[in-house]
Chain A
Amino acid sequence: NAGVTQTPKFQVLKTGQSMTLQCAQDMNHEYMSWYRQDPGMGLRLIHYSVGAGITDQGEVPNGYNVSRSTTEDFPLRLLSAAPSQTSVYFCASTMGAGSTDTQYFGPGTRLTVL
């Protein structure tokens, strides 16, 4: 049971490049989400999904796309990277959409956009 895995761990992009951050979980969790963490800002929700085929926007969705074709995978796509997207990105999963459930986080992807 690997929990939540994220790849890559580190990435450097040039402005305008696109890329996909991968997130997978093997706990059969319905709810998955993507956050970015910046100094002094805390974790901010980018997109989330309450189940396969269902996604929704969080607090800071601009510049990012997601899809949820399977329960296990929830990739985050940066369409055209900008320096403002330099951040640490965490994927998380929860058993259900219930608000009492524990969130399990992946180890994070540290992204730098030059």
Chain B
Amino acid sequence: RKEVEQDPGPFNVPEGATVAFNCTYSNSASQSFFWYRQDCRKEPKLLMSVYSSGNEDGRFTAQLNRASQYISLLIRDSKLSDSATYLCVVNRYTGNQFYFGTGTSLTVIP
């Protein structure tokens, strides 16, 4: 079983829409959780960390459910510039390894 699983999409949404991505992780020892954004043929960049209590950064909201072992990302009022692939990442402190999901592709349509 993969460490991190994501729905690959693609998600095609109109500008202004709200879209949500989910991600599940298999190892209950996972300690830290992140969403990274990757533009076509570019390197991944941190979008936001995910905290147990949930956190928000502008139009982006991340949630963590440890009991069900899933992480979510909500994007409100989608912009054309949000078009990218969103990567779910988890880390188990022991072993110093980050595990990446395969990514969810989002295209925001005018």
| B100 interface neighbour in A31, A40, A42, Cβ under 8 Å | A42
B43 CB contacts on chain A under 8 angstroms: 90, 105-108
Residues of B within 8 A of A105 (CB): 43-45
Q: A58-B97, A99-B91, A103-B98 given as contacts; is B103 within 8 A of A42 (CB)?
A: yes
* Count of A interface residues, CB-CB < 8 Å: 25
Q: How far is the CB of A37 from the nearest CB of chain B, in Å?
A: 9
- Interfacial chain A residues near B22, Cβ < 8 Å: none
A-B pair number, CB within 8 angstroms: 56
* Of the residues A33, A41, A90, contact of B102 by C-beta under 8 Å: A41
Residues from 8 to 52 in A contacting B, C-beta threshold 8 Å: 31, 33, 35, 40-45, 48, 50
* A98: Cβ under 8 A from any B Cβ: yes
Residues of A within 8 A of B (CB): 31, 33, 35, 40-45, 48, 50, 56, 58-59, 90, 97-100, 102-103, 105-108
